[in-house]
Structure 1
Amino acid sequence: MAEVGECSASNSSIQNWAKLKTKSSSVDKYEWCKITRNSDVNSITLQNRSFNAILVDETLVQKDDIAFIKCGSEIVSGPVQDGHLSYKFEILSDSKVCKGLKISMDVEHTKCSICLNIWHDVVTAAPCFHNFCNGCFSEWLKRSQEKRTSVLCPQCRAVVQFVGRNHFLLNIAETILQEDSSLRRSVEEIAILDSCSLIQSNLVIGSGKKRTQKRPHSVLGQEESGVLELPCPQCGTEYAGFRCNPNTVHLQCHGCGGMMPSRFDIGIPQHCLGCDRAFCGAYWRAQRLQRSGTYATCNPETLKPISSRTISRIPQLTHENNQHEQDITERCISQMGKTLQDVISEWIVKFNNREIDRTRMPLNHVEMITAETHICNECYDKLVGFLLYWFRISTPKYLLPGDATERENCWYGYACRTQHHNEDHARKRNHVCRPTRSR
């Protein structure tokens, strides 16, 4: 279904996604065109509904005819510019369209049934889909594992098979607390909850029961029904002195999709601190498991300390994906007689010594990260991009390639959106700089 844009005579109660801005003042308002965003979202058409021809980007459009327009198109309400209103077509950003959107929710429905407070770092249990504070449910999970063969939902007592963090409900809880600060808990209470929180990524909880499979499972590779499922290698065999019991909670690896037991007390990292996702490479290496085709397991390189990593190419996301800036950085490093690894090693030392402002670092738990922190490949690329930004803005102009020193800084700096779709602008202006003007 097509979406209708806003014209002079449109109903203000309808949610608008675009509008025409007058370029000259007038008190007269009448419906003379219809703007439609088609079902494919990308194409926008304008229909001339006036009695005269109109101009669209200097092209004459007759009565009832249709023309394609884009953001920035100039529309004149007559056949010539002189004596007629001139408009510029602009597409509103999603943030402006949704600015007035509000969701009504009963505060009682956003409370944890264990502590009876607004959710903090909310997690959702399945298949019942009840929600709890991460710290509250983590404590419940530990006690349940000590006393029972299965974990029951604290609210409905259904058997819990899966639990994971719910980022959508987390945003709702934060909005409620911003509206009513009296519902916010003390810093001490939140610190205690955070110290109890064990759920960083999705947990698969075994019930200890036999399951009859109606079809083979691609990961587990089971052919027969009525057998006990063995999600991971340690469910059937003891490795490094550990074997899963029927109630062992399992993590699903983000890298390979395989399972590993969730073990919080052995000092082996199972999550990337930069993104909180689970990776099994470091765990299975510590367990001295030989990779085979029976179970999905990751390469140990997927999760390793920052200090033990090496890099030979600039990550694609560096400098906001601006290839011109990446090329300048690469040539600058080469002119200095260094390798990319040399530069990154130097800046990791500065990072570890807290000589760099971490405000814009695109990772989670930025204040906790050190050179010995285990992170995944994707987060390492983000860290490298962050360090190369600081390398560039700290490098004197005379050390940059000649063509780079002649460019003026873009007003919007690294936050510029034009650099992503305008090749000429991306090349002519320096975008590895701080914004000096906000949008």
Structure 2
Amino acid sequence: MCRWAGLTILMKGETSSSIMSNPSLNNDDIRAKFVPSNSKYLDIELTSNETLICYEISILSVRKSECENEITVDEVVVRGEDTVVIRCGSEIIPGSEGDGKGLLSCRFKVMSAQESLHKQLKIFLDPEHAKCCICLNVWHDVVTVAPCLHNFCNGCFSEWLRRSQEKHSSVLCPQCRAVVQFVGRNHFLHSIEEDILKGDVSLKRSSEEIAVLDSYASIKSPLVINIGKGSHRKRLRSPPEESSLELACPQCGTEFAGYRCNPSTVHLQCHSCGGMMPSRMSVAVPQHCLGCDRAFCGAYWHAHGVTRSDSHPVCSTETFKPIIERTTTRMPFWVHEKNRHEQDITENCIRQMGRTLQDVISEWLMKMNNREIDRTRMPLNHAEMITPQTHTCTDCYDKLVSFLLYWFRITMPKHFLSPEASQREDCWYGYACRTQHRDEEHALKRNHVCRPTRGSHM
């Protein structure tokens, strides 16, 4: 039984065959739900033994008082304390059939066993297993060390790493004392960390504590850590020849620009060429791309006058340099969510305006720098810190160009578009539409360079 707007309705448990065929589910396990016709309202889930449903209904009709004691079920008006059997698929509208215009209607649906069980499935993780052994709190910006695979806060382990390098030839795991050879951020555990804190707000740290931790955090990309010659964990060490080959960089054994690596120096591996360079937070030359936090060695070695050799790979300076020094002659693959039709429209518009792609990018780069556009959708890390002088890798620069061309298109007057392009209707899901990638006709028929009006990206 359920009560709706003062009326009593007998809910007949018409179950699907999947539920009836499962003898382990008794009547109390049978679930159903009311599905509002307006998607902005949540579904109302219930079990067969529930007797009351409270649901706020937006009644737009001026005759609200006349329809409070009557409803329409499958075009049959039910009044007063009458009862009616509703089945799977029944449509329920407050008010009589004539008065129902403008009111929120719902459709009754019996959930399948799979759907019901899926909604009840939860994964539980003991927060005690998600705590850093240094600060004894739930991880913050969790990092994982190898080969022991223990996890710590980024700030906690960064400080441990700094102190270990000052006093010892090797870095030991704070939990098991194994020699650490590698450390990197763990994005999978980071999502688990967030879920734990959402489930138990008492485990959250204060904003002051988080600010202190973030100030200590120095691990932005995977670090390869040298194993000192005096390490007592010999079984974890590689043969001397192999170790020197893996960790060798031009500043290992040779002094460049007043710096020489010592046995405990932490090295970064370049994402582009795979070569090594010392991790130096104090140098003015950036070693990480601000857009993706990956390490690139080209700018560092170029500043020190080091060139590529057979024993020391060095990537080209073109792979990692300031945004302002880059030029764009082609439409990046990422533009307009990889929709080739929209890319062609943008290219034609630029051509008809008598401009080049680089002209447009330079103009909108200055607008971005002057805070004239919203950076919320910028697909780069640390979006608020990006400036024309920021060093980025080629991939991140292409993503930035895609972001700028999106703003160029949505602010462009329609008379610059071709008649075919300007007459298209906007897709409900805008740039977030997934159909545009698999349906050529849909990608061509609708405009996808627009903001979504439906879905989770609104």
TM-score w.r.t. structure 1 length? 0.74
Residue 206 (structure 1) aligned with residue 226 (structure 2)? yes
Q: Which residue of 2 aligns with 1:131?
A: 151
TM-score by length of 2: 0.71
CA contact (8 A) 2:428 2:454 kept: yes
1:292 aligned counterpart, secondary structure: coil
- Is the Cα–Cα contact under 8 Å of residues 272 and 374 in structure 1 kept in the other structure? yes
Deviation string 1:2-34 (CA, Å, 9 cap, x unpaired) is xxxxx84376799xxxxxxxxxxxxxxxxxxxx
Q: Please give the per-residue CA displacement for 1:100-122, whole angstroms capped at 9, x wherever unaligned.
A: 55322211111111111110000
Of 229, 249, 273, the residue aligned with 1:232 is 249
Cα pair distance change 1:334/1:96, threshold 3 Å: farther
Matched residue SS, 1:125: strand
Contact 1:210/1:227 (8 A) holds in 2: no
Q: Find the aligned partners of 1:224 and 1:145 in 2 and give their Cα distance.
A: 23
Asked if 1:384 is matched to 2:401, the reply is yes
1:161 aligned residue (173, 181, 193): 181
Give, in whole Å, the separation in 2 of the partners of 1:404 and 1:228: 57
C-alpha displacement at 1:308, in angstroms?
Answer: 1.1
Q: In structure 2, what is the equivalent of residue 51 of structure 1?
A: none
In structure 2, the CA distance between the partners of 1:292 and 1:362, relative to structure 1 (3 Å rule), is same
Aligned residue identity for 2:126: D
Q: How does 1:396-415 map to 2 (within 5 A)?
A: 396-415=413-432
Q: After superposition, what is the alpha-carbon deviation per residue over 1:144-189, rounded to whole angstroms, capped at 9, x for unaligned? A: 1111111111112111111110111111111000011111111111
Alignment partner, residue 9 of structure 1:
18
Q: Secondary structure at the match of 2:169?
A: coil
Q: Once superposed, what is the RMSD of the aligned Cα atoms?
A: 2.6
> In the alignment, which residue of structure 2 is the partner of 1:188?
208
Amino acid at match of 2:265: T
Identity %: 68
Alpha-carbon shift at residue 293 of structure 1 (Å)? 2.1
What is the one-letter code of the residue matched to 2:229? K
Going from structure 1 to structure 2, the CA distance change for 1:121 and 1:99 (only over 3 Å counts) comes to farther
Q: CA shift at 1:233, angstroms?
A: 1.6
Q: 1:334 to 1:199 in 2, by over 3 A?
A: same
Among 130, 141, 150, which residue is 2:161 paired with?
A: 141
Matching residue within 277, 281, 298 for 1:264: 281
Seen in structure 2, the aligned counterparts of structure 1 residues 142 and 224 have a Cα distance that, compared at 3 Å, is closer
Q: Tell me the alpha carbon deviations over residues 341-373 of structure 1, each in whole angstroms, 9 at most, x when there is no partner.
A: 000000000000111111111111111111111
CA distance in 2, matches of 1:378, 1:156: 38
How many correspondences in the alignment? 345
- Partners of 2:269 and 2:145 in 1: how far apart? 15
Contact 1:231/1:259 (<8 A) preserved: yes
Where does 1:231-310 land on structure 2 (aligned, <5 Å)? 231-310=248-327
Q: Aligned partners of 1:151 and 1:110: how far apart in 2?
A: 22
Q: Does 1:416 align with 2:449?
A: no
Unaligned runs of 5+ in 2: 1-15, 26-114, 232-237
Unpaired stretches in structure 1, ≥5 consecutive residues: 1-6, 15-94, 212-216
- Read off the aligned partner of 1:9 and give its amino acid letter: S
> Which residue in the other structure is 1:106 paired with?
126
How has the CA–CA distance of structure 1 residues 145 and 233 changed in structure 2, closer, same or farther, with 3 Å as cutoff? same
1:334 and 1:99, CA in 2 relative to 1: closer, same or farther beyond 3 A?
farther
CA distance, structure 2, for counterparts of residue 125 and residue 225 of structure 1: 21
Which structure would you say has the larger Rg?
2
Return the offset for 1:386.
0.5
Shift of 1:133: 0.5
Q: 2:359 aligns with which of 342, 351, 354?
A: 342
